[in-house]
Amino acid sequence: MSTSNGYRLLIVDDYKEVRSLVSRQLQRQGYEVVEANCVTQAKKLLASDVFDLVITDVSLNDGNGIDMMAAIEPMPKTIFMSGYMQPSMTATMELEAGRNFIYKPFKIKTLAQMVGTAVNNDGDQN
């Protein structure tokens, strides 16, 4: 078991295997990870808890990860995941692969680097 690094992450994905594998791998690196499988569950957690970073899929069973996060004021630091990016996604917010967006499939090492940069960055990551 790794020593906690003090950062709390929320991972939102309706695809259980991806959610639990990412969660497990990030826990190995010392992060405390909470999981949600839909927008409704994520919203409840975000309303009642504080997270240093949210990692969310864009297409969820009951909504859209981008709209979900854009509705929160102020918006927490977020990394979006998706199998594809289309222009309508960037209409709501600026997404940049490698900064706040990662294409699926990905290597956990790549995501972990983005997570590390995001949680250690005090500026507006989004």
Partner 1 sequence: MTKNLETAGTASRLTDPLPAEFFESAPDATLIVNPAGVVMHSNRRARTMFAGEELVGADTSRLGISADDGVALVRNGGKLLAIDVVARQIQLGHESWQLLVLRDSPSVPAERDLTRAWKNLALGEINNSLAHELNQPLAAVTLHCEAAAAAAEDAGNADPELLAELQRATAQAFRASNVVTRLRQLFVFDIGATVAAWPNMLVQDAVRGFVAHSGPKDISSRLAAGLPPVEVNAGLIVQALISLMGNAASLAQSEHGSIEIATEQSAGEVCISITGAGLQLDTDAQRFSPLKDRHASWAGLEFAICRRVIAAHGGRLEVSGQCCAGGKGCFCVRLPAQVREQ
Nearest distance in Å: CB 67, partner 1:
8
Taking the least distance from each CB to partner 1, the nearer of 68 and 119 is: 68
Residues in touch with partner 1 (CB under 8 A): 15, 17-18, 21-22, 24-25, 28, 59-64, 67, 82-84, 86-88, 91, 103-109
Taking the least distance from each CB to partner 1, the nearer of 19 and 124 is: 19
At 126, list the tokens. Answer: 């989004």
Nearest distance in Å: CB 120, partner 1:
23
Which ranges in the chain belong to alpha helices (H)? Answer: 16-28, 39-48, 65-70, 87-92, 108-120
Nearest distance in Å: CB 84, partner 1:
4
Inter-axis angle of helices 108-120 and 16-28, to 10 degrees?
A: 60
At 80, list the tokens. Answer: 């979006």
Cβ atoms of residues 33 and 9 within 8 Å: yes
